[in-house]
Structures are given as C-alpha cells and as structure tokens.
Amino acid sequence: MVLQPTGRVRFDRVRGFEERRPGALAAVQPGDLGRLEALAGADRYGVEIALSAVRDTRDVRAMPSHGAYVEGEAGRFQSLDGSGLGVWRAQALGLAFRPALFRIPFLPERGAVFLRANGVVTRPDGGPLPWVYLPELDRDLLVGYPRSEFVGRDALSVGVGARGVVGEALGAFLVEGVATAMVGAAYDDVVREFTPRVRFAPGQTAAGDRVPLSPSLAVGLNLHYLDRERPLVGALVGIGPDGVSLASLRLVWGLGAYRPRLR
C-alpha cells in the first residue's frame, strides 16, 4: 500500500452561463439559480489538503487478467477568498479483475472480466455548496451522456465489463477490445436519496425524491505493444438513452517509444 499526501491550489472564475438545451433553466430550483447567478463575475479560490492510499495487485497494469486496484482519498478544502467556505470530501475507486470462465472460439485468448465501483461524498461546513465545487460523473465513470449531466454533492457509479485481445496489427501491436455496462447517479445526499431502481428514459427528479440509477454501455478498442506493458492509443464509445457518443480518444504513449525488435 502507498500513502500519498497532496496539496492543491484551486482558482475558479465564472464569467456567465447559458442553457445547454432549451428550457433547462426552467427546471432549476429558484434558490439554486440564484446561487449560480451570484457566482458570475466572482473569483473563488482556496487550498485543499488530502491524503490518498493506493493498493495495486494487478498482474499487468496495462492489460490485467487478475488482481485489483483500490484507491481512496480524504481531504479538506478551505477557501481563501473571504467566503469562509470549508468542505470535507472523501472518494474511493475500486477495480477487480478475474480471468474469464471460458474462451470464445474465434479469439486468441480467454480474456478477463472485471468489476468497477466509484463513489464520492462531499460535505460543506454549513449551507449549500457552490456549483463550481460539486463533483460530477465524468465520461470515464458514466459514458453516453452529455457533459455535466450528473452533478451533485455525492456521486456513485458501478459497472461490470470484459476485456481481452481480439487480434494483432502489423505484427507489432495487440488490439484489445473492452465492453462495460454501467449504472450511476449524482445525489444531494446519497444515503437519503439512493435507490437501486434503474431509469432507462432521461428525465428530471423532483427535489427530495429518491434518485434512480441511469444506465450506459461502453465499447472500445485499445492498441498495445506486444509486451503488454506499454499502451499506445485507446478509443471508447458510449451508448446511453440520449444516443451514441464518443466518450474518449486518447494517445496514451508516445509514438517515438516504439522500436522494432531484432529477430
């Protein structure tokens, strides 16, 4: 296990805001809208001190077939802008990998299945938390939705998936396929608002109601070097109730790092 203290300086400036879709502001609670308007044109800044713990037992970091990765962090943010805001935040991420029970006949190897869970809880000292400090489920945690679709003091995401080599490319790279089914939601208070019910149609939840989980499906391809230690590029497509979207397209290793091997 690795323990790591961190310190961060945060600066936020809101110049203004607009509706992402027609009628979006009409669904915002009047008090929340007033607090958002109060942020426009004001600078918010402060310092966060946190301590994180990481335990990694994966056999291969880039393409694991068994093992686990667990990360937790707890921290305190204190504003320095005169607002007096203080926030406690705790978050955790867990991934567990196991070899698949069987090999699909046309694939070169058996592959692996995995479980993933991510959660964050935020508690201000008193009063509402400004919008700029609210955590969100980004496109790595719940794909297939517009940016900032799920924002709240607390957030939860869980998923199950499979990964494995589907072929080779140019005799120098391995092509990995990944598929993950996920559900997640954002809450004002996860203890009071959580329900295991899944909502398949987009829609607003009234204040104080239980918040159902929203589903999504992610499929992607990753390109790795033959030693499986050095990934090159990856692409992920998200499928949700709103349709299909490109969740990520990443270059995760420099092209200049490849050197043909002597044979």
Which three-class secondary structure state does DSSP give residue 71?
strand
Averages of pLDDT over runs of 10 residues in the chain (263 residues) are 90 73 65 66 86 93 89 93 88 93 78 93 84 75 76 90 86 86 90 88 64 90 77 82 76 53 38
DSSP letter for 129, please: P
For the chain, the structural domain boundaries read 2-257
Residue 47 is predicted with a pLDDT of: 94
Which residue in 196, 188, 182, 46 sits closest to 123, CA to CA?
188
3-state SS string over 75-123?
EEEEECCCCCCEEEEEEEEEEEEEECCCCCCCCCCCCEEEEEEEEEEEE
Cβ neighbours around 126 below 10 Å, total: 8
**CATH label, 2-257, candidates 2.40.160, 2.60.40, 1.20.1250, 1.10.1060:** 2.40.160
Report the distance separating Cα 31 and Cα 128, nearest Å: 10
Residue 263 is predicted with a pLDDT of: 33
Residue 99 is predicted with a pLDDT of: 92
